Amino acid sequence: MTKIFNHILTILFCLGTQSFLAQDECDGTDITNPIISASMQTGDGSCGYPQPAAIATDNSGGMVQLDVSLEISSAPAVCMLVQPDIGDNLCDYADIASMLLMSMPAEYKFYTVESGSWTAADDGTAHISAIVHCNAHPNGKFAVDVNFSSGMTWDQWSGIPGRSYKADCGGVGSEHPNWMYYIMSSGSLIGFGDFQGSQYTLTHAPGNYQYGYQVGLGANNYSDELGSGGWFVYTGTLIDNGVTISTYSGAGDFMFRHDCYPAENILQYVYTATDVCDNSSVFTQEILTCGTEGPLLANMPLAGTVMTPCEMEAWQPIWLPDSCDGLFTYTTSYAMGNVEGSNDYLVTITIDAMACGVPRSYSFSVVIPEESELPCIDTSCIADINGDEIVTTSDVIALIADFLTENELTDLNQDGVVNIPDLLIVISSFGSMCN
């Protein structure tokens, strides 16, 4: 499931449009895509907010629009395939192995897994992708590709007449009620290295489906580790250094140990820059999810973003849940200052967030102009005190001063003056200045 959160980076739009106004209509000569200059930082993996600063430029000097979206997708759990421990192998094979080709001559029977993965989906399908080499001929290798379907629990599997489980060579047969059972729907072994030209088609065995491909603790029928295993029939040709070794079918076994990693979220910031001629470029930055280090937040203003008091009061962070789906809470605090060389206000906002009992703090600064129009609240009862023909922050501050005096109160945040932070408190507390 993918969720997409779109939010506009106003300050980036300003950077992209203020500098490149030479061409605001397409004259048909520009066929070059814009360039996105962005930080390649991949995030700290601990619920930081690693959105890179980005600017889009166009070599024709035209106008560029830069959009950003945050895309969230779920990566399934994946298990790396590893050579099993020989353990108490009751079948007493002559060599340790993760794949057996039982009908082959002894020197081509046993195979070791070099790398591979097992992935399973909620729809009952699964997949193996692996590289194995022949124990007696290490340069003789196969690429293993197998698809499975009809994943079932033991209750579902055993509910079909004739179905059972296999645990005669080892493993933990008592664990079979906790295994998953699959049917091999297709598979192949493609040779390379010394086995270049070899190719086998794999089908499920036994043909009556008495046993499935088993996944779970001890399920590989070889060791008591978490793993998977099952029979198959192989049909094709084995070639070793150009010499045909066999051209017949036979029975085989997979016996893998699983080293597994849980499902996780994949988060990406996707930047799209488009010029006036509809040439576009895309920059994607993958970031890491929260883990146990606290909630990951989105919709955080870039440093220096200009806001009115009403916009600041209305702003809320967006929580991006990872596997934790517990309660999300946050508190907001403000610190007041002035922009150097200006009468504009610099407000530092601190967010103390909590999700699933794990805290994390964020801090950023935004700019509030000395005079900000207030169209987002009911201003009908507020006089234009300073006579500039619009209701601005100074008018509201004057009203707050009257309100505080009438109620024999000092400034609400106790910083010694009545100013923007007091305005924020009044708006958030009363909802309307006319209350």
| Same-domain status, 241 and 267 | no
d(CA 164, CA 331): 57
Q: What is the mean pLDDT of residues 165-186?
A: 88
200 pLDDT above the threshold of 70: yes
242 pLDDT above the threshold of 90: yes
Cβ atoms of residues 251 and 102 within 8 Å? yes
> Out of 94-98, 303-307, 370-374, which region has the weakest mean confidence (pLDDT)?
370-374
For the stretch 405-429, pLDDT in tens is: 544 345 666 666 666 666 666 555 5
The pLDDT value given to residue 7: 23
- Omega before 206 cis (within 30°)? yes
Cα 261 from chain centroid (whole Å): 14
For the stretch 265-286, pLDDT in tens is: 666 778 888 888 888 888 887 6
The pLDDT value given to residue 141: 95
| Same-domain status, 268 and 239 | no
Q: What is the mean pLDDT of residues 359-378?
A: 71
Cβ atoms of residues 199 and 237 within 8 Å? yes
d(CA 66, CA 18): 13
Residue 252 pLDDT grade (very low, low, confident, very high; cuts 50, 70, 90) = very high
Mean pLDDT of the residues in the chain: 75
| Same-domain status, 59 and 99 | no
Query: What number of H helices and E strands is found in the chain?
Result: 5, 22
| Same-domain status, 178 and 86 | yes
The pLDDT value given to residue 188: 94
Domain count for the chain: 4
DSSP labels, 148-170: EEEEE-HHHHHTSTT-----SSS
204 pLDDT above the threshold of 70: yes
pTM attached to this predicted model: 0.51
The pLDDT value given to residue 144: 94
Residue 160 pLDDT grade (very low, low, confident, very high; cuts 50, 70, 90) = very high
| Same-domain status, 338 and 432 | no
| Same-domain status, 358 and 387 | no
| Same-domain status, 94 and 226 | yes
The pLDDT value given to residue 230: 94
The pLDDT value given to residue 35: 82
Cβ atoms of residues 346 and 365 within 8 Å? yes
| Same-domain status, 109 and 239 | yes
For the stretch 42-67, pLDDT in tens is: 444 344 444 566 778 877 667 788 88
Range of the domain at 54: 1-75+263-289
Q: Which of 274, 289, 304 is the last residue of a domain?
A: 289
Cα 118 from chain centroid (whole Å): 19
| Same-domain status, 400 and 425 | yes
| Same-domain status, 32 and 11 | yes
**3-class DSSP state for residue 15?**
helix
The pLDDT value given to residue 43: 43
Determine the angle formed by the axes of helices 420-430 and 393-406, rounding to 10 degrees: 70
> Out of 128-137, 163-172, 287-296, 384-393, which region has the weakest mean confidence (pLDDT)?
287-296
Q: What is the mean pLDDT of residues 140-149?
A: 95
Q: Report which of residues 415 and 147 the model is more confident about.
A: 147
244 pLDDT above the threshold of 90: yes
The pLDDT value given to residue 385: 66
To which residue do tokens 């009809």 refer? 150
382 pLDDT above the threshold of 90: no
Q: What is the mean pLDDT of residues 209-232?
A: 91
Rounded to whole angstroms, the maximal C-alpha distance in the chain is 101
**429 CB contacts (<8 Å, ≥6 apart)?**
none
| Same-domain status, 92 and 196 | yes
The H or E element containing residue 230 is strand 226-240
Amino acid found at 420: I
The pLDDT value given to residue 46: 40
d(CA 50, CA 44): 7
Cβ atoms of residues 111 and 102 within 8 Å? no
Residue 340 pLDDT grade (very low, low, confident, very high; cuts 50, 70, 90) = confident
Q: What is the mean pLDDT of residues 12-16?
A: 23
339 pLDDT above the threshold of 50: yes
Residue 241 pLDDT grade (very low, low, confident, very high; cuts 50, 70, 90) = very high
10 pLDDT above the threshold of 50: no
The pLDDT value given to residue 22: 39
Q: Which of 332, 348, 370 is the last residue of a domain?
A: 370
Cα-based distances in Å from 184 to 126, 201, 316, 351: 9, 12, 50, 52
For the stretch 67-119, pLDDT in tens is: 877 676 666 678 899 988 766 566 767 677 899 998 898 899 999 999 899 98
Amino acid found at 404: L
| Same-domain status, 150 and 256 | yes
DSSP labels, 326-365: S-EEEEEEEEEEE-TTSSSEEEEEEEEEEETTEEEEEEEE
Q: What is the mean pLDDT of residues 329-349?
A: 77
d(CA 131, CA 80): 12
